[in-house]
Amino acid sequence: MENDFTELLKKLPLVAILLIASFFVGQLTARVVHSKETSAVLPASDGNWGLGFPEEGKTPTGNATIDELKDYNAYYAEDTDDKVIYLTFDCGYENGNTAPILDALKKHNVKASFFVVGTFIDSNPELIKRMVEEGHIVGNHTWHHPDMSAMSTKEAFSKELTDVEKKYEEITGKPMNKYYRPPQGKYNESNLQMAKDLGYKTFFWSLAYVDWYQDNQPTKEEAFKKLLGRIHPGAVVLLHSTSSTNAAILDELLTKWEEMGYTFKTIDQIGGSNEATSV
């Protein structure tokens, strides 16, 4: 059979051979495209949100596109040419750096979003009240900071969020905004849908740097290299409130971003939605 097929190919004109080759290439391409379309929102191989930076000053690529995430009311950046920054902080515990961060934000009249875990909100009610009084958004970072992608039931997933909601309302007397950031950026398609079903919007990020090791903090120069070099229009910036570097540089960082022509919005305005908040 193999010899017969070889003889047939020898007799076929070149054009016919090219047509046959094109057919098989087309079939292979179609299968690859279909595979991508049917698994549009998948985590990286380690289950974490990940970014690629092909060009400085431009929106980085994520594990999913801006449009793909919108199906789950999820965001990592805004598709815009306007020089706007959505500044967010993750608050895992308190070590004295949140107050100076709030001082710098107040000095520049910049409103930010603070994603808090249960221990933070439980142990620091006065800081939570100050965030609210000064016009910041307090978002949900879960009670125990677990790997939420491992949550197989909606009940377990929901409890991590509702426990934070209850404590927030107990402290502030107001319902909590339903803005959620997955701990460590760990997620899957199923729990993006769970968050959406619970009325939450999920927020990843398009700019962050390694600022969370308390005993190995980046230098000012290292911080500015990342935070100035990779800033881009529509950026959702993630910083950690535990970082002494962030506390020390935030005043100057905000000044430099402003000198670059950037303004600041809160995450309730991403995509131009400008929905009401409880702050």
Note the pLDDT of residue 105. Answer: 98
In this predicted structure, the answer to whether residue 245 has a pLDDT above a threshold of 90 is yes
**Is 268 noted as a catalytic residue in this protein?**
no
User: What is residue 47's predicted lDDT score, i.e. its pLDDT?
Assistant: 67
DSSP reduced 3-state for 112: coil
CA within 13 Å, CB half, 11:
6
Average pLDDT over residues 180-188: 95
Mean pLDDT of 190-209: 96
Q: By mean pLDDT, which of 14-23, 117-126, 237-246 is the weakest?
A: 14-23
10 pLDDT more than 60 = no
Per-residue model confidence (pLDDT) at position 26: 42
Mean pLDDT, the chain, integer: 86
**Cβ(212)–Cβ(68) under 8 Å?**
no
pTM, two decimal places: 0.82
Which residue's entry shows tokens 């090791």? Answer: 213
Report the percent of the chain where pLDDT is more than 90.
Answer: 77
Choosing from 136, 141, 232, 240, which is the catalytic residue?
Answer: 240
Q: Is residue 34 flagged as an active site residue?
A: no
Catalytic residue from among 82, 90, 145, 211: 90
Measured distance CA(224)–CA(239) in Å, rounded:
13
